[in-house]
Structure 1
């Protein structure tokens, strides 16, 4: 092979390489963008929940508060599972509002 033939082959190989790089780049799947997680709101404490329940009780809803506690699977507020506090508070908030 002559120098000219080798140079021509080398140029063709470079073209092929560049084409392969383009093809590979087009086949790449981009990493999915992970959405930034909002910081969790601080967990409710028994004291915070107890305060709202006591306020409702003072407003004359003692029996309704007791029934609501039982609805959430507890016999008293202090035995309620903490992960149920948020839903319990939402139910307390609507208590007494005409529906």
Structure 2
């Protein structure tokens, strides 16, 4: 009877071992699928979307740059640049033009 009990115990241990292995394999597959899904999602985002810009933060950044240029003695050039965009002051400028305005302002004095 002892041999039968030993055999039964060994079979139960192997059964538990294979169940653990199967559970770990399933978890591994889930992890792989999640990583692949993230990678494919990141590729689509990188191709399809530009980073979203915050017009309020852009305006603050441009205001700081224009103020710096004025302090450096380029007030006339700053005013001319604003007029080029059809504005007398920064708040009159269309947010779509902020990027071009910023790069134009960077060129003042160089």
Indicate the structure with greater helix content.
2
Moved over 4 A (4+): none
1:54-93 alignment to 2 at 5 Å? 54-93=67-106
1:43-62 alignment to 2 at 5 Å? 43-45=54-56, 46-62=59-75
Deviation at 1:60, TM superposition (A): 0.5
TM norm structure 1: 0.57
Q: Which runs of 5+ in 1 are unaligned?
A: 1-33
Q: 2: distance between equivalents of 1:58 and 1:82? A: 24
Count of aligned positions: 64
